[in-house]
Structure 1
Amino acid sequence: MSDNPVFSGAEPVVRLSNLTRSFEQGGVRIDVLRGIDLTIAPGEIVALLGPSGSGKSTMLQAVGLLEGGFGGTIELVGTDASKLSGDERTALRRNHLGFVYQFHHLLSDFSAIENVVLPQLVADIGRADADERAANLLSKLGLAERLDHRPSQLSGGEQQRVAVARALANRPHLVLADEPTGNLDEATADKVLEQFLDLVRGQGSAALIATHNERLARRMDRVVRLHEGVLT
Structure 2
Amino acid sequence: MNSSSASPVVRITELKRSFEQGGVTIDVLRGIDLEVRPGEIVALLGPSGSGKSTMLQAIGLLEGGFEGKIEIAGVNATALDGDARTTLRRDHLGFVYQFHHLLPDFNAIENVLLPQLVAGRSQEEATARATELLVALGLGGRLDHRPSQLSGGEQQRVAVARALANKPGLVLADEPTGNLDEATADRVFGEFLKLVRGEGSAAIVATHNERLAQAMDRVVRLHEGKLE
Scaled by the length of structure 1, what TM-score is found? 0.97
Q: CA deviation at 1:9?
A: 1.4
CA distance in 1 between counterparts of 2:36 and 2:136 reads 26
Distance in 2 separating the partners of 1:48 and 1:7: 20
Cα RMSD for the two superposed structures? 0.6
Query: 2:92, 2:208 → 1: CA distance?
Result: 26
Given residue 93 of structure 1, which amino acid in structure 2 is its aligned partner? R
CA offset at residue 7 of structure 1? 2.0
1:74 is displaced (CA, Å) by 0.6
Deviations 1:180-226 (A, max 9, x none): 00000011001101111111100110000000000000000000000
Residue aligning to 2:79? 83
Gaps of 5+ in 1: none
| One-letter code aligned to 2:51 | G
Partner-residue secondary structure (3-state), 1:33: strand
Counterparts of 1:7 and 1:206, CA distance in 2: 11
TM-score by length of structure 2 reads 0.99
Residue 143 (structure 1) aligned with residue 118 (structure 2): no
Q: Which amino acid aligns with 2:180?
A: L
Matched, 1:195 2:179: no
Q: 2 CA distance for matches of 1:124 and 1:197? A: 27
Alpha-carbon distance in 2 for matches of 1:7, 1:17: 21
Q: Secondary structure at the match of 2:68?
A: strand
107, 119, 135: which one aligns with 2:103? 107
Q: Which residue of 2 aligns with 1:40?
A: 36
Count of paired positions: 228
Instruction: Give the letter for the 2:188 counterpart.
Output: V
Per-residue CA deviations over 1:24-81 (Å, capped at 9, x if unaligned) read: 0000000000000000001000000000000000000000000000001011110111
1:83-232 alignment, distance < 5 Å = 83-232=79-228
Moved over 2 A (4+): none
